[in-house]
Amino acid sequence: MKERLRVLASPIAAALASIGIAVGVLLALGHAPLGALEALVRGAGGSPAAWTGTLQKSTPLLLTGLAVALSFRCGVWNIGAEGQLYAGALAATFVATRWLPADGGAWLVAPVLVAGALGGAGFGALAGWLRAARGVSEVISTILLNFVAIQLVAYAIQGPLQEAPRAYPQSDPLPHGAMLPALDRLHLGVPLALIAALVVAFLIDRTAVGFRLRAVGHAPEAARFAGLSPERLGTLALALAGGLAGLAGAVELAGMTGRLYEGLSPGPGYTAIAVALLARLAPLAVIPSALFFGALANGALAMQREAAIPSVATQVVQGIVILLSVGFALGRLSLARERVPSEGEA
């Protein structure tokens, strides 16, 4: 009981400590800290519109955070959620602007999302294959594949996927039917990401495949003696993670931008690592964790808008909060990982 309380207390302590340091940093940079933090809080959740923005920004973080949590739980250090996100967005754009009819109905959403997930999964599986067949460290390959995906997008929008007028480096707009339906700008991707969290939680904690993934992550050699293949399961984990990150790319495309751009959505793939660590790799805990990071990003924009804090200063504040919260969370992580397999729950 006391242990539980401590587990709960650490993120709160982290949040408070980071607020304290943020105040100090803002003072040192010559900005009024109270007005800035007020703008941060109000911008993150002070109005329905602020909540909309926070949820929009949390959605890709939730999906990529799940991708990272899932692969880390299998002992696969997937740093490539960013690249998998772009691969998904690229595949979704290709299908939406080159294959699907421009005048199709709302059913177009389904193939676009599937294409995004498959594109990301394929990209993740590529790193998995390199790891299984050639023993290439997935840390290296996934990082490098990030650059490959980003440059592929840059090539595509100046080449084969560029808009018909060829004036600007951007893709054609997605057909209307391929855009995610939205209720007051909260698009379908938001509930979709929540469902994904439930599915991943169920998969990891309640299925045989999930058990195998965790077993391999926890003790690869023991798992091998038990007849499991860490290589094959690692590839599966990377493909599943890629699928989630690719879905995030498709959701950003079909829910937010409507076209593919260079730098469509930079960052979530990397922030996702922090999101997953703060959640201590538990899929359901990724939901509040992603929400927290989304609120932080959204509030930081409001700090620029309303309190005239330059973006560099807001980035310092964001960085401090991320560092501290992950630092606090990591202190608990080793303990969490020891408990998980024996109890079969997170």
Partner 1 sequence: MLVRAALLVALGCFVAALPGCGGETTQQTETFRVALLTPGSISDGGWNQAAYDGLERVERELGARVSHVETKSPAQFEEEFRSYARDGFDLVFGHGFEYQEAAARVAPSYPETVFVTTSGNTVLPNLAPMVFELEQATYLCGWLAAKLSSSGRLGAIGGVDLPSIRSTFVAFRAGAEAARPGVSVREVFLGRFDDVPAAREAATALLDEGADFLIHQVNDAGRGVFQAVQERAAKGSRVYAFGTNRNQNDMAPDVVLASAVLDVPSAFVEVARRVESGSFRAEPIRLGMGEGIVSFVLNAGLSGGIEAPVLQELAALAAKIRSGELQVPRGNF
Task: Give the residues lining the site for partner 1 (CB under 8 A).
Answer: 13, 16-17, 19-20, 23, 33-35, 37-38, 41-42, 46-47, 49, 52-53, 56-57, 60, 158, 165-170, 173, 185, 252, 256-259, 261, 263-267, 301-302, 304-306, 308, 310-312
Alpha-carbon dihedral sign for residues 5, 8, 11, 16: negative
- Residue whose CB is less far from partner 1, 57 or 212: 57
- Residue whose CB is less far from partner 1, 181 or 266: 266
What is the rounded distance in angstroms from the CA atom of residue 130 to the CA atom of residue 128?
5
Q: How far is the CB of 28 from partner 1 (least distance, A)?
A: 15
User: Closest by alpha carbon to 314, among 327, 328, 324, 304?
Assistant: 304
- Residue whose CB is less far from partner 1, 196 or 253: 253
Q: How far is the CB of 155 from partner 1 (least distance, A)?
A: 12
Alpha-carbon dihedral sign for residues 115, 117, 123, 128: negative
What is the rounded distance in angstroms from the CA atom of residue 201 to the CA atom of residue 216?
17
Alpha-carbon dihedral sign for residues 183, 188, 193, 198: positive
Cβ within 8 Å of residue 101, ≥6 positions away:
108, 175
3-state secondary structure at position 253: helix
Q: Are 194 and 65 in contact (CB under 8 A)?
A: no
Crossing angle of helices 230-252 and 81-94, in 10° steps, is 60
What is the rounded distance in angstroms from the CA atom of residue 274 to the CA atom of residue 264?
20
Q: How far is the CB of 176 from partner 1 (least distance, A)?
A: 12
- Residue whose CB is less far from partner 1, 231 or 306: 306
User: Closest by alpha carbon to 244, among 90, 65, 57?
Assistant: 65
- Residue whose CB is less far from partner 1, 229 or 257: 257
DSSP string over 154-191: HHHHHTTTB-TT--SSBBPPPPGGGSPPEETTEETHHH
Q: How far is the CB of 308 from partner 1 (least distance, A)?
A: 7
- Residue whose CB is less far from partner 1, 34 or 330: 34
- Residue whose CB is less far from partner 1, 169 or 288: 169
- Residue whose CB is less far from partner 1, 259 or 280: 259
Q: Are 58 and 291 in contact (CB under 8 A)?
A: yes
Cβ within 8 Å of residue 312, ≥6 positions away:
none
Q: How far is the CB of 345 from partner 1 (least distance, A)?
A: 31
DSSP conformational letter for 163: -
Residue 183, phi then psi, degrees to nearest 5: -110, 110
